[in-house]
Structure 1
Amino acid sequence: MHSRAERRLPPAIAAGLATATAALGLTGCAATPAADTVTVLNSATDTAEHTANQKFFDRCAKPIGLKVEQISVPADQVASKALRMASSKSLSDILELDGSELPQFAGTEGLRPLKDIGVDTSGFSGSATSLGSYDGTQYGIARSVNSLALIYNTKLLKAAGVAPPTTWAELKTAAKKMTHGSTYGMAFSASPNADGVYQFLPFFWSGGGDEAKLDNGKGEAALQLWKDLVSDGSASKSVVNWNQQDVNDQFVAGRAAMMINGPWQVPVLDAQKKVDWAVARIPVPEAGQDAIPPIGGTVMAVPKNEDRSREKNAGKILNCLNSQKNQLKWGESVNNVPTRSAAARAYAEQNPKLAAFADLVTTARSRTAEVGTRWPVVGDALAGAFQSVLTGRTSPEQALHRAQQQASTGK
């Protein structure tokens, strides 16, 4: 199922999309599907996911005399596929894309504001709303979202006599105490790409870091925390190469007592009968603070169409998919948190083991909320910062000063 890391639109695709959708501003042509068919472009290429999606689509479409046809391509090809379809005036009625990509699509003025087609976006968590908004307008809607938490081996923590850490100081102490032999106390991804950035953000934001001003001095503590964990041997030096799946592999193999990861790992963890695990909130600088992790997931948007009836049909499908009942069922099927606040509360009650994820989503933030279409270059700058610090090339202060220069100039 969908995970958290953003898929960047390459410059050529972004520019082409802007040209195609701005010039056309619509779909519809000789190849337009039947009037009773709503098309959806998504990345549900996995058979199980495609089938699960179709069940929900059919549940919403059949009672109102409609059909839904999925056009599924690999996640990293959704943008280029959308470009080709827009160029031929055949873009789908619903476009499901990663939330971090929405600003680049919405910025072309090729998407219809959801309120214009009667899509109800009330009752959603603020973080979920931000994932689908651009310049104050709601263009996308997420039926479920994910984020990050601290996942720990309950047996190893009990054996070490430590409780799940809640502060950075407690995290360092617990990680050090549980590091012995081939087992590290802590594991996280610090890879120089989306996975590493996604995992760094909870520490960066919770410490006061600002992606719009990387060198404001408040992000240095997060870099120092990661540096300390690696320097004292509580975390492996290999974190600079690990993606989030690698981190989970280390945890499952017993080579890490704690890790930062997301709910997409739950099926793998559940299959490990010898690993007893639990979920806690990500530690924060000081007791009583809220963790601020990134919010991840896909949003569904409606491209502009010269045939407004097609837009309205798409809106009806979106309203149905995002009813409290359907959101709850979908969230449970993919181990993600529903975006309607009432559905999220029910999810936490019915899935107590994953309740921490539901709690964290309430304080999570969209990566693009503050910097919009500049996020890709900002993310790259952050990756360069923690990579240079963890490999001993620069200090946290120097790293973030350089990162701000990179974010400002794109070089």
Structure 2
Amino acid sequence: MRRSRILIATAAVAVVPLALSACGQGGGASEGGGDGTLTVLDYYNNEPDKTLMQEALDTCAAEVGVELERETVPGADLIQTVLQRSSSRTLPDVLMLDNPDVQEIAATGGLAPLSDFDVDTSGFTQGILDAATYDGEVYGLGPAVNTLGLFYDVEALEEAGIEPPKTWDELKEAAAALTEGDRYGVAFSAIANYEGSWQFLPFMWTNGGDETDLTSPEVAEALQLWVDLVDSGSASPSVVNWKQGDVKDQFAAGKAAMMINGPWQIPALAETDVEWESVQVPVNEAGQTPVAPLGGEVWTVPETGDEATKAVAAEFVECMSSPEIEMSVAESRYLVPTRTDLIDEYVEMVPEMGAFAEQVKNARSRTGQLGEEWPEAATVIYDAIQLAITGEASAADAFEQASQG
């Protein structure tokens, strides 16, 4: 999961430049349609993702019949770069965005709806469509996505005679039984940033909690679970400082028998001696459907003012979510295809992704309810988590206190 909230407050200021950038440019900021070249901007600037994504981009470039001029920037710099490019009328022809950013940029008028180009958006998981939809229009497609699950140390659970937990009560019981010496039963990220909010969402959503009312009993009950795990000693108090990478390190070092994390950690775990498996995030009561957040990127067509280029860019975006590209990207990067008819076939190819694939079927977009107002709710969530786990507020009062800033 990646999330960069950089100068979002300035997005409103950028509305006019973004709208103007679609007008009066003549041939557009780039000359993609005219000279057979498309400019592409994304944040896959580290290996192996950079090379793996280049292979998919090159495949679609050949399919569409264009050359690519690709630029990559760090994830934390992408939104700032987009805003700068909009003001200088140099938006790329194809823009990759983290899915929670799509609605914010679409709201400025900076993206072209895919319906303008008759792109078929049927057959995709509802979560990715919700993430890419603004005012009833779909602005992008994502080839593959991620979400969260519960990893567990197979040997540790077998030695303790414990089955992977499916409910919160089972999670608490298993975590307590697995805690011994310098090993905690479970680890998760409760850090004061978007990673902390992201990891809390499966517990909040599955329990019926909603970001439109963070003071509900259902939200408080989910937070109480995390408080109980820490207060009982089954989870480290340091969870308030751990990023998801830190959680993975604890698990890989044998200092946590279970962890909440995502499939992007699988390559690193493959380099360790830990035998792990995964299940969906436990639910409060048996029979509930686990609902986790959807992570991943969306490919969009910016408003450059060049209609011919935009049409080619839309064809390119459609190719990036073709069945062949989806399967290739998902398999190489431990993601899950967004086309629902591919998921079962994918799990047969990559069985270790089974739990995450099931989780994706019911995964939810973070911006589905609040749209561009999601960052404000996310901030309240991670502030409340910090207040409750550190004992500064009860789980019942933490969200009210956090919302008052």
TM-score (norm 2): 0.96
| Secondary structure class of the residue paired with 2:274 | coil
The reply on whether 1:247 has 2:254 as its aligned counterpart is: no
Alpha-carbon distance between aligned partners in 2 of 1:28 and 1:114, rounded to the nearest angstrom: 22
> Which shifted more, 73-82 or 15-24?
15-24
Corresponding residue for residue 218 of structure 1? 218
| Secondary structure class of the residue paired with 1:122 | coil
Corresponding residue for residue 90 of structure 2? 90
Corresponding residue for residue 322 of structure 1? 321
Corresponding residue for residue 22 of structure 1? 19
The reply on whether 1:157 has 2:134 as its aligned counterpart is: no
The structure-2 alpha-carbon separation of the partners of 1:169 and 1:28, relative to structure 1 and needing over 3 Å to count, comes to farther
Q: Flag structure 1 segments of 5+ consecutive residues without an equivalent.
A: none
Is contact 1:302-1:311 (8 Å) kept?
A: yes
| Secondary structure class of the residue paired with 2:189 | coil
The reply on whether 1:121 has 2:118 as its aligned counterpart is: no
> Which shifted more, 303-312 or 377-386?
303-312
Alpha-carbon distance between aligned partners in 2 of 1:182 and 1:326, rounded to the nearest angstrom: 44
Superimposed CA distance per residue, residues 34-61 of structure 1 (whole angstroms, 9 cap, x where no aligned partner): 5211111111212432222222222122
Superimposed CA distance per residue, residues 143-180 of structure 1 (whole angstroms, 9 cap, x where no aligned partner): 11100000000000001100000000000000000000
The structure-2 alpha-carbon separation of the partners of 1:63 and 1:206, relative to structure 1 and needing over 3 Å to count, comes to closer
Is contact 1:328-1:346 (8 Å) kept?
A: no
Counterpart amino acid of residue 312 in structure 1: A
The structure-2 alpha-carbon separation of the partners of 1:178 and 1:63, relative to structure 1 and needing over 3 Å to count, comes to closer
Corresponding residue for residue 166 of structure 2? 166
Corresponding residue for residue 144 of structure 1? 144
Counterpart amino acid of residue 120 in structure 1: D
The structure-2 alpha-carbon separation of the partners of 1:82 and 1:108, relative to structure 1 and needing over 3 Å to count, comes to same
Superimposed CA distance per residue, residues 365-384 of structure 1 (whole angstroms, 9 cap, x where no aligned partner): 11111011111111110111
Superimposed CA distance per residue, residues 337-371 of structure 1 (whole angstroms, 9 cap, x where no aligned partner): 01011222211121111110000011111111101
> Which shifted more, 198-207 or 341-350?
341-350
Superimposed CA distance per residue, residues 317-353 of structure 1 (whole angstroms, 9 cap, x where no aligned partner): 1222211121001111111101011222211121111
Is contact 1:28-1:89 (8 Å) kept?
A: no
Superimposed CA distance per residue, residues 212-244 of structure 1 (whole angstroms, 9 cap, x where no aligned partner): 111122211111100110011000010010010
Corresponding residue for residue 372 of structure 2? 373
Counterpart amino acid of residue 321 in structure 2: N
Is contact 1:5-1:198 (8 Å) kept?
A: no
> Which shifted more, 46-55 or 165-174?
46-55
Q: Flag structure 2 segments of 5+ consecutive residues without an equivalent.
A: none
Superimposed CA distance per residue, residues 6-49 of structure 1 (whole angstroms, 9 cap, x where no aligned partner): 21132454234323102333566676335211111111212432
Corresponding residue for residue 279 of structure 1? 278
Quote the sequence identity (%): 42
Corresponding residue for residue 363 of structure 2? 364
Tell me the matched-pair count. 402
Corresponding residue for residue 55 of structure 1? 55
Deviation at 1:204, TM superposition (A): 0.9
> Which shifted more, 340-349 or 59-68?
59-68
Is contact 1:240-1:387 (8 Å) kept?
A: yes
> Which shifted more, 15-24 or 295-304?
15-24
Is contact 1:28-1:90 (8 Å) kept?
A: no
Corresponding residue for residue 313 of structure 1? 312
RMSD of Structure 2 on Structure 1 (CA): 1.5
Alpha-carbon distance between aligned partners in 1 of 2:382 and 2:49, rounded to the nearest angstrom: 31
Alpha-carbon distance between aligned partners in 1 of 2:63 and 2:27, rounded to the nearest angstrom: 27
Superimposed CA distance per residue, residues 240-265 of structure 1 (whole angstroms, 9 cap, x where no aligned partner): 10010000000000000000000110
Alpha-carbon distance between aligned partners in 2 of 1:287 and 1:140, rounded to the nearest angstrom: 36
Counterpart amino acid of residue 358 in structure 1: A
Corresponding residue for residue 394 of structure 1? 393
Alpha-carbon distance between aligned partners in 2 of 1:254 and 1:28, rounded to the nearest angstrom: 60
The reply on whether 1:191 has 2:188 as its aligned counterpart is: no
Counterpart amino acid of residue 30 in structure 2: T
Is contact 2:31-2:309 (8 Å) kept?
A: no
TM-score (norm 1): 0.94
The reply on whether 1:105 has 2:105 as its aligned counterpart is: yes
Alpha-carbon distance between aligned partners in 1 of 2:30 and 2:196, rounded to the nearest angstrom: 41
Is contact 2:30-2:93 (8 Å) kept?
A: no
Is contact 1:166-1:283 (8 Å) kept?
A: yes
Superimposed CA distance per residue, residues 113-160 of structure 1 (whole angstroms, 9 cap, x where no aligned partner): 112113221110111211211222101211111000000000000011
Corresponding residue for residue 301 of structure 1? 300
The reply on whether 1:351 has 2:350 as its aligned counterpart is: yes
Counterpart amino acid of residue 21 in structure 1: L
Is contact 1:7-1:100 (8 Å) kept?
A: no
Alpha-carbon distance between aligned partners in 2 of 1:220 and 1:230, rounded to the nearest angstrom: 15
Alpha-carbon distance between aligned partners in 1 of 2:147 and 2:384, rounded to the nearest angstrom: 22
> Which shifted more, 111-120 or 23-32?
23-32
| Secondary structure class of the residue paired with 2:181 | coil
Alpha-carbon distance between aligned partners in 2 of 1:199 and 1:30, rounded to the nearest angstrom: 41
The reply on whether 1:335 has 2:331 as its aligned counterpart is: no
Counterpart amino acid of residue 7 in structure 1: S
Deviation at 1:191, TM superposition (A): 0.2
Counterpart amino acid of residue 309 in structure 2: R
Deviation at 1:193, TM superposition (A): 0.4
Counterpart amino acid of residue 354 in structure 2: A
Alpha-carbon distance between aligned partners in 2 of 1:381 and 1:28, rounded to the nearest angstrom: 45
Corresponding residue for residue 67 of structure 2? 67
Corresponding residue for residue 33 of structure 1? 31
Alpha-carbon distance between aligned partners in 2 of 1:250 and 1:53, rounded to the nearest angstrom: 29
The structure-2 alpha-carbon separation of the partners of 1:146 and 1:30, relative to structure 1 and needing over 3 Å to count, comes to closer
